[in-house]
Chains A and B, each alone.
Chain A
Amino acid sequence: MSSEWPLWEVFIRGQHGLNHRHVGSLHAPDAEMAINNARDVYTRRNEGVSIWVVKSADITASAPSDKGPLFDPSNSKVYRHPTFFDIPDEVGHM
């Protein structure tokens, strides 16, 4: 039996002006076929205007155990949100 085709992650831009968004993955022998297959598998109902494919092996992901060190520090910086500051009503819209 032939060797298994590599896995590709598929990203679709749903409408003009929006970001590409991860929709799933598929197997294909090369990038060109991955785009063709992604068209058939993920956009049968007009879901997209553009497709990106990336080999899954080429994606570097943060480890689940890094969640704390990576994201906890921002919890204590509530002043990054505009609602942290009380602005009097008389000032008007800001």
Chain B
Amino acid sequence: MYAQMVKTDSTRLRSLDEMDPVERAFQERVDAGQKIEPKEWMPEGYRKTLVRQISQHAHSEIVGQLPEGNWITRAPTLERKAILLAKVQDEAGHGLYLYCAAETLGVSRDELYEQLHSGKAKYSSIFNYPTLTWADIGAIGWLVDGAAIMNQVPLQRCSYGPYSRAMIRICKEESFHQRQGYDILMKMVKGTPAQKAMVQDALNRWWWPSLMMFGPSDDASVHSAQSMAWKIKQNSNDELRQKFVDQTVPQAKYLGLTVPDPDLTWNEEKGGYDFGQPDWEEFFNVIAGNGPCNAERLEARRKAWNDGAWFRDGLTAHAEKMAERRAAAKIAAE
């Protein structure tokens, strides 16, 4: 998802009997559905896993602005432009909520930025694909934000308080993102044959990368089992992918589009769709930094950060000057 394949440092899941009293008390609180708050005792593995997951999630929100930012100056109408601007601004906000949640675990903002800018940190594979046409902006809202919602709704119940609260804020705002995307496509499919073809082309390119967002099957993964025991993760990757396909296929039909999967069939018995597997080799390649836009995205992000340095320095200098003046005025008054 926005955080894919998060490692936990665990090699196997331990039972309550194998834990020392402090850890057992912690696990029992998690089992009872209580929230863990920043300064409370937590296993080091829990803290590290959360830092990885929340920071990956935050980086994804920040890098996620770039593919869409590409179209702000080229939106077809002033209204679409204003909407897209608001959406991209939300993504920045979501990144900030999440960075703050990560910081409550004892990692600094500078460290997190450094990890992103040096290429050490991961972000979602989906943002390494190019946005070639305006229909891609519709497809991203509909599919990418749709997949994100599928993952983020259960994360609102995450055992870590600050992450859970950040997710609640994010989910409130995310529905707008998906609807604005679908709205773009509803308009385009009613347009010229060329416009409709553009929408089909966008679906063809974004369908499989969207399914990859959930990550490979993790039914046998000890990291996934550990994350679930800690209630950092609530559903398996396959469960969420199935839900996403079941919800999205009818929406594609409504638009009169064909989902680019020859294996897609309704399975009456399970009450859901059977569908093909994404190209996992491609996924691992993108994760490893070899996707179509990995280098471009990181470069754009670094450039934005470096180009803003003079402005951040100016604000700091101004703040220092004002603080000095206040101190001098106070001395003069005494």
Q: Which B90-117 residues sit within 8 Å CB-CB of chain A?
A: 90, 93, 96-97, 100, 103, 108-110
- CB within 8 Å: A-B pair count: 54
Using a Cβ–Cβ cut-off of 8 Å, how many residues does chain A contribute to the interface with B?
Answer: 21
The reply to whether the CB of A5 lies closer than 8 angstroms to some CB of chain B is yes
Rounded to whole Å, the gap between the CB of B35 and the closest CB of chain A is: 12
Cβ–Cβ contact B315 & A29, under 8 A: yes
Which A residue's beta carbon lies closest to that of B309? A2
Q: How far is the CA of A4 from the CA of B110 in the complex (A)?
A: 7
**Contacting residues of chain B (159-173) with chain A, CB-CB under 8 angstroms:** 165-166, 169, 173
CA distance A41 to B316 in the complex (A): 20
Identify the stretch in A20-28, A69-77, A84-92 within 8 Å (CB) of chain B at 4 or more residues. A20-28
Query: Quick one: which of B76-102 are within 8 Å of A by CB?
Result: 86, 89-90, 93, 96-97, 100
> Which of B60-68, B211-219, B250-258, B318-326 lies at the binding interface?
B318-326
**A33: Cβ under 8 A from any B Cβ:** yes
Does residue B307 face the partner (Cβ distance < 8 Å to A)?
A: no
Known: A1-B110, A2-B313, A4-B110. A29 touches B39 (CB 8 A): no
State how many angstroms separate the Cβ of B39 from the closest Cβ of chain A: 5
Across the interface, A29 reaches (CB within 8 A) one of B103, B108, B165, B318, namely B318
A68–B97 alpha-carbon span in the complex (Å) = 31
A3 touches B40 (CB 8 A): no
Q: Please state if B323 and A64 are interface contacts (CB–CB under 8 Å).
A: no
Q: When A and B form their complex, which 4 residue pairs have the shortest distance between CB atoms, in order from nearest?
A: A30-B319, A29-B319, A64-B40, A29-B315
> Which B residues are closer than 8 A to A by beta carbons?
37, 39-41, 86, 89-90, 93, 96-97, 100, 103, 108-110, 165-166, 169, 173, 309, 312-313, 315-316, 318-319, 322-323
